[in-house]
Amino acid sequence: MTVEDPRTTAVTGLGHYVLGLGDDALVLSERCAELITRSPTIEEDLAISNIALDLLGQARGLLAHAGELEGAGRSEDDLAYLRLDTQFRNCALAEVPNGDFAFVMLRIYLLSEYFILRYAALADSADSQLSAISAKALKEVSYHKLHARDWVIRLGRGTAESAKRAQAALADAEPYFDELFDDTWIHPDLITAGIAVSEAALRDQWQAALDKTLSEADLELPGASRPFSGARHGRHTEHLGNLLALTQSLHRAHPGASW
Amino acid sequence: MQGHSEERPVDKSPVAPDRAEVYEVFVRPRRGLSHTHVGSVHAHGPDTALRYARDLYTRRTEGVGLWVVPAAAIKSSNPDEKDMFFDPAEDKTYRHANSYEVPEGVEHL
């Protein structure tokens, strides 16, 4: 009997890429879902829940597609609930803990700007399924950006306390920026073939959008952080394991549980 | 208390009121129909109010248009003056078209 090393059994090629897209959505969705019943007002609670549900819907479509591409019979649930943290391909910015409201909104803003550029490009992907999922997701993440961007500006230009917290959130998030634009986890042929998008190529547009927002918000990028890398290759922060323990515990205790 | 209530000296205009205000929400269910009052939200400013209204009241494709109106902008009739306002209309049946006979051959009336 051979025992497979779970760290090396991963879907490859296009499936691997789509899995990474799905993991970004799934992990950010889980972080947003943690805030349900924790938001400052019932209106904001529902706004964040809606964002979490939109992202979960995107994750389902992407993980199901990744499973089909893999061709080993794994469903979206198998991929969401039965992988180890080292097999997740999401960026680290999606997985770090929520912290305060300033970080919550800043993270949603930063990743929404990123998702917008990615999905807008992928809407023209040569993979028709990926193209369809992206076109739908683009509308959702555009709305998330609108909401979160407004909060970032309001916090930055609000009280001394809110500005301090928004600035601190920016410093906390900055180490995870470089990783968003790292192409090393994407097979280069997929980019050449017009199936995947080069994330490195999105950076200038993303930075320009961020600069504009920060200027409106009276915030400044500290620009002195040590970049984190490796999450796309399975080397995550210590926080993903804890998040997945919560997400996966029910499915692991009661395999196939449904209602 | 330190810092929390202190306004930061800014050179730009405030981006939102200090306190949340109540906004009344109106949804247009379909093109061609009027906006209908559906409820209210608390929000800091009209832009946020519109988004909260979208999240709260159009989750299940209830509408194709949304209005939010500051509740403070609404001048309401006074319940204490209800009799004076509305009772006089009760005995003026001639204001209704009940007693008119529909002429023959008129369609779509």
Residue B43: closest CA among chain A residues belongs to which residue? A43
Find out whether B62 and B29 touch, Cβ atoms under 8 Å: yes
- Checking if the pLDDT of B15 tops 70, the result is no
What residues of B are in contact with residue A158 (Cβ under 8 Å)? 8, 15-16
Residue B37: which pLDDT band, with cuts at 50, 70 and 90?
Answer: very high
Across residues B38-66, what is the average pLDDT? Answer: 92
pLDDT computed for residue B109 by the predictor: 67
A163 Cα to chain B: minimum distance (Å)? 8
First to last CA, chain A: 36
pLDDT computed for residue A75 by the predictor: 94
Find out whether A89 and A234 touch, Cβ atoms under 8 Å: yes
- Checking if the pLDDT of B20 tops 80, the result is yes
Assess if residue B42 is contained within a domain.
Answer: yes
- Checking if the pLDDT of B13 tops 80, the result is no
CB contact set of A185 (below 8 Å; sequence gap of 6+): A16, A17, A20, A89, A232, A233
What residues of A are in contact with residue B43 (Cβ under 8 Å)? 43
What residues of B are in contact with residue A54 (Cβ under 8 Å)? none
Longest dimension (CA), chain A: 64
- Cβ-Cβ pairs closer than 8 A, A with B, add up to 51
pLDDT computed for residue A12 by the predictor: 66
| Contact assignment for A157 to B48 by CB distance below 8 Å | no
Q: Looking at residue B29, which CATH number applies to its domain? A: 3.10.20.520
Question: What span, in angstroms and rounded, lies between the C-alpha atoms of B16 and B9?
Answer: 15
A121 Cα to chain B: minimum distance (Å)? 26
- Checking if the pLDDT of B99 tops 80, the result is no
Question: What span, in angstroms and rounded, lies between the C-alpha atoms of A252 and A246?
Answer: 10
Assess if residue B59 is contained within a domain.
Answer: yes
pLDDT computed for residue B9 by the predictor: 45
The count of domains in chain B is 1
Assess if residue B41 is contained within a domain.
Answer: yes
Residue A151: closest CA among chain B residues belongs to which residue? B48
pLDDT computed for residue A225 by the predictor: 78
Using CB atoms, which residue from B8, B12, B48 is nearest to A160? Answer: B8
DSSP states of chain A as a string?
A: -----TTT----HHHHHHHHHHHHHHHHHHHHHTTTTTSSSHHHHHHHHHHHHHHHHHHHHHHHHHHHHHTS---HHHHHHS--GGG----HHHHS---SHHHHHHHHHHHHHHHHHHHHHHTT-SSHHHHHHHHHHHHHHHHHHHHHHHHHHHHHTSBHHHHHHHHHHHHHHGGGHHHHT--TTS-HHHHHTTSS--SGGGHHHHHHHHHHHHHHHT------PPPP--GGGT---THHHHHHHHHHHHHHHSTT---
- Checking if the pLDDT of B6 tops 70, the result is no
| Contact assignment for A150 to B44 by CB distance below 8 Å | no
| Contact assignment for B14 to A157 by CB distance below 8 Å | yes
Residue B60: which pLDDT band, with cuts at 50, 70 and 90?
Answer: confident
Assess if residue B14 is contained within a domain.
Answer: no
What residues of A are in contact with residue B51 (Cβ under 8 Å)? 47, 146-147, 150
- pLDDT by residue for chain A (259 residues), tens only, comes to 344 444 344 456 899 999 999 999 999 999 999 999 999 889 999 999 999 999 999 999 999 999 999 889 999 999 999 999 999 999 999 999 999 999 999 999 999 999 999 999 999 999 999 999 999 999 999 999 999 999 999 999 999 999 999 999 999 999 999 999 999 999 999 999 999 999 999 999 999 999 999 999 999 999 877 999 999 999 999 999 999 999 999 998 998 788 7
Using CB atoms, which residue from B8, B47, B48 is nearest to A159? Answer: B8
Residue A242 Cα distances to A29, A185, A187, A246, angstroms: 15, 24, 29, 7
The whole domain housing B81 covers: 21-95
| Contact assignment for A158 to B15 by CB distance below 8 Å | yes
Assess if residue B12 is contained within a domain.
Answer: no
Assess if residue B104 is contained within a domain.
Answer: no
Rg (CA), chain A: 18
Using CB atoms, which residue from B10, B48, B56 is nearest to A150? Answer: B48
Q: Which domains does chain A have, with CATH numbers?
A: 13-220+229-253 (1.20.1260.10)
Reduced to 3 states (helix: H, G, I; strand: E, B; else coil), residue B41 is: strand
pLDDT computed for residue B82 by the predictor: 86
- On the CB side of A234, CA atoms within 13 Å amount to 12
In angstroms, how far is CA A239 from the centroid of its own chain?
14
Name the residue with tokens 């208390």: B1
pLDDT computed for residue B12 by the predictor: 54
Using CB atoms, which residue from B4, B8, B52 is nearest to A163? Answer: B8
pLDDT computed for residue B16 by the predictor: 67
Question: What span, in angstroms and rounded, lies between the C-alpha atoms of A87 and A233?
Answer: 8
pLDDT computed for residue B3 by the predictor: 42
More confident residue, B20 or A110: A110
